[in-house]
């Protein structure tokens, strides 16, 4: 049980951290500008800043004097030993609504965590998403110039081995690029293919935290968001786009030096991702 003078500062610190993590995106939005890097965190993973600012203690913790929490979905009011009132996550009600989601997240995240990471993709999924767009008369995904131009971008794809294991990246490949992938990811095969070296699998940890809502402690949610944000910057730095307008230096994966830098970052993200996976699995197990 957390008394109010303990959990109130935690909730405020959580909201402050959420504000810090979302400041760049919020300021761009206030200016009426799109942000080609950070918009992804709020569109592909549809969420609101208000969701990130809302602190939850997770399952098994009672908050004293928490009338507002008691009115939130999946919370229940409790009576404290001193006769006062508190609020806690109603695990039974949550599992009645989200039990299948908990089971799916547990299975997918556990399978991913159990595998060794693969570190030879060099972020070519983003290149495959614009491959031969110009020849087909299609617009590419982001309103940014291509760092090597259309022909140079196509040449990079054609001179590399592509081995993307993540379905939600593969499904955005251009039709001309799909057959160049050594794997054929599907939604059904996602638990069998996902591996911790994949940048998109690391970003998706934020999605799984969102799916589990108030069962996920606030610090885990923001750690997953921060990991996703950091990965997203590398994902775009290594992409074919010129992101210099955002003050981001390219990771030129078409060069040996760029490949080495990509793998160095990829390994760091994999290590951080595995730590988040362990905590997320503990959340799932605590609900069972």
Q: Residue 227: name the closest of 262, 167, 271, 172 by CA.
A: 271
**In angstroms, rounded to a whole number, what is the distance separating the alpha carbons of residues 241 and 255?**
15
* 171 lies in some domain: no
Q: Average pLDDT of the chain?
A: 95
pLDDT at 103 over 90: yes
* Mean pLDDT value across residues 91-117: 97
User: How is residue 81 written in tokens?
Assistant: 């030993």
* Mean pLDDT value across residues 73-100: 93
* 280 lies in some domain: yes
| Model pLDDT, residue 140 | 67
| Model pLDDT, residue 48 | 92
pLDDT at 266 over 70: yes
* 8 lies in some domain: yes
Pairing type for strands 63-64 and 75-79 reads: unpaired
| Model pLDDT, residue 2 | 95
Q: Residues of the chain with pLDDT > 90: what percent?
A: 91
> Tens of pLDDT along 167-206?
999 999 999 999 999 999 999 999 999 999 999 999 999 9
Q: Whose structure tokens read 């206030």? A: 30
Burial 237-253 (b: 16+ CB within 10 A, else e): bbbbbebeebeeebbbb
| Model pLDDT, residue 106 | 97
* 228 lies in some domain: yes
**Domain limits for position 34:** 4-119+189-287
* 45 lies in some domain: yes
* 49 lies in some domain: yes
> Tens of pLDDT along 28-72?
999 999 999 999 999 999 889 999 999 999 999 999 999 989 899
| Model pLDDT, residue 137 | 67
pLDDT at 213 over 80: yes
195-239-235-179 Cα dihedral, nearest 10 degrees? -20
Instruction: Provide the domain count of the chain.
Output: 1
All residues at 6 or more sequence positions from 13 whose CB lies less than 8 Å from its CB, including other chains = none
| Model pLDDT, residue 143 | 81
| Model pLDDT, residue 31 | 96
* 179 lies in some domain: no
* 169 lies in some domain: no
* Mean pLDDT value across residues 74-91: 91
What's the pLDDT band for 98 if we cut at 50, 70, 90?
A: very high
> Tens of pLDDT along 126-165?
999 999 987 766 666 778 999 999 999 999 999 999 999 9
Three-state SS annotation for the chain? CECHHHHHHHHHHHHHHHHHHHHHHHHHHHCCCCCCCCCHHHHCCCCCHHHHHCCCCCCCCCEECCHHHHCCCCEEEEECCCCCEEEEECHHHHHHHHHHHHHHHHHHHHHHHCCCCCCCCCCHHHHHCCCCHHHHCCCCCCCCCECCHHHHHHHHHHCCCECCCCHHHHCCCCHHHHCCECCCCCCCCHHHHCCCCCHHHHHHHHHHHHHCHHHCCHHHHHHHHHHHHHHHHHHHHCCCECCHHHCCCCCCCCCHHHHHHHHHHHHHHHHHHHHHHHHHHHHHHHHC
The answer to whether 18 touches 49, Cβ cutoff 8 Å, is yes
Claim: this prediction has a pTM higher than 0.85: yes
């Amino acid at each position: 049980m957390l008394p109010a003078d303990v959990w109130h500062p935690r909730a405020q610190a959580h909201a402050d951290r959420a504000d810090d993590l979302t400041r760049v995106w919020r300021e761009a939005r206030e200016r009426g500008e799109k942000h080609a890097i950070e918009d992804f965190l709020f569109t592909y993973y549809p969420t609101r800043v208000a969701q990130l600012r809302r602190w939850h203690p997770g399952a098994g913790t009672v908050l004293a004097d928490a009338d507002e929490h008691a009115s939130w979905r999946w919370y229940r009011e409790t009576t404290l030993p001193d006769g006062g009132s508190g609020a806690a996550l109603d695990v039974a009600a949550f599992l009645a609504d989200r039990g299948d989601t908990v089971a799916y997240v547990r299975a997918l995240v556990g399978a991913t965590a159990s595998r060794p990471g693969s570190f030879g993709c060099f972020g070519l999924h983003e290149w495959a998403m614009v491959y031969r767009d110009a020849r087909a008369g299609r617009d590419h995904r982001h309103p940014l110039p291509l760092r090597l131009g259309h022909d140079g971008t196509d040449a990079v794809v054609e001179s590399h081995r592509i081995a993307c294991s993540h379905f939600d990246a593969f499904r955005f490949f251009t039709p001309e690029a799909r057959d160049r992938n050594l794997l054929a990811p599907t939604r059904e095969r996602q638990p069998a293919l996902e591996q911790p070296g994949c940048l998109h699998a690391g970003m998706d940890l934020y999605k799984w935290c969102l799916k589990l809502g108030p069962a996920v402690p606030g610090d885990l949610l923001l750690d997953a968001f921060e990991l996703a944000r950091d990965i997203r910057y590398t994902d775009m730095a290594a992409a074919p786009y010129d992101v210099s307008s955002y003050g981001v230096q390219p990771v030129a994966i078409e060069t040996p030096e760029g490949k080495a830098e990509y793998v160095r970052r990829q390994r760091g993200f994999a290590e951080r991702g595995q730590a988040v996976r362990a905590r997320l699995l503990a959340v799932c197990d605590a609900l069972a």
